[in-house]
Amino acid sequence: MNDERITVGITVNGVTHRAVVEPRTLLVYFLREQLGLTGTHVGCDTSQCGACTVHLNGRAVKSCTIFAVQADGAEITTIEGLARDSALHPVQEGFREKHGLQCGYCTPGMIMSAVHLLQANPRPTDAEIKHALEGNICRCTGYVNIVEAVKWAAERMRGDHVSR
């Protein structure tokens, strides 16, 4: 069997990491085990649950279904890259404020998908939020508060709450 190793340069949360990987190394394991960024979770491991969602060049993707070698030269944002200094991202705050989590396992992926949605659509309807989170499964079934959390964050990010 092949024991080839490949050197990749991947920028994660603004820091470029040069690392040696096996071709079969999945991006999620590269992030968790080689970089120690364990905020990105492995859930189903079959491209369905979305717990492993990260942004690759600005788009939400499932990092369990991408080889690290495919991300060579790419810019990745993980849940650890959302907060600025000590200030949580509005979507993170929204999940806390609206209790958008129960066990918390799906939360990093939910938040990364919600951030991706709000970048493109700052004023989503409930239906649009649900559609955008179709690729993220919450086994606690806490979807009602997740939608509330995203709406709360959307309002904050638009600045609407100030005028209320």
Partner 1 sequence: MFPANFGYVAARSVEEATELLAKYGEEAKLLAGGHSLIPAMKLRLASPRHLIDLGRVPGLSGIKVDGETLSIGALTVHADVASSDLARHRLPGLAEAASVIGDVQVRNRGTIGGSVAHADPAADFPVILTALDASFVLQGRFGRRTVAAPDFFLDFYTTALAPDEVLTEIRVPLPSSGSGTAYAKLPHPASGYVVVSAAALVVRDPSGRCVSAAVAIGGMGSRPQRAAATEASLHGQPLTPEVIAAAAAKASEGTDPESDLYASADYKRHIATVYARQAIETAASRK
| CA-closest candidate to residue 81, choices 9, 22, 13, 157 | 13
- Residues 26-55 touching partner 1, rule: CB under 8 A, are 26, 45-48, 50, 53
Under rule CB under 8 A, residue 85 binds partner 1: no
**Interface region with partner 1, contact rule CB under 8 A, candidates 58-66, 77-85, 86-94, 99-107:** 58-66
- By CB under 8 A, residue 3 contacts partner 1: yes
Query: Could you say whether residue 80 binds partner 1 (CB under 8 A)?
Result: no
Binding of partner 1 by 127 (CB under 8 A): no
- Residue 4 found at the interface with partner 1 (CB under 8 A): yes
Binding-site ranges for partner 1 (CB under 8 A)? 1-4, 6, 22-24, 26, 45-48, 50, 53, 56, 59-62, 65-67, 69-70, 72, 113, 116-117, 132, 134-136
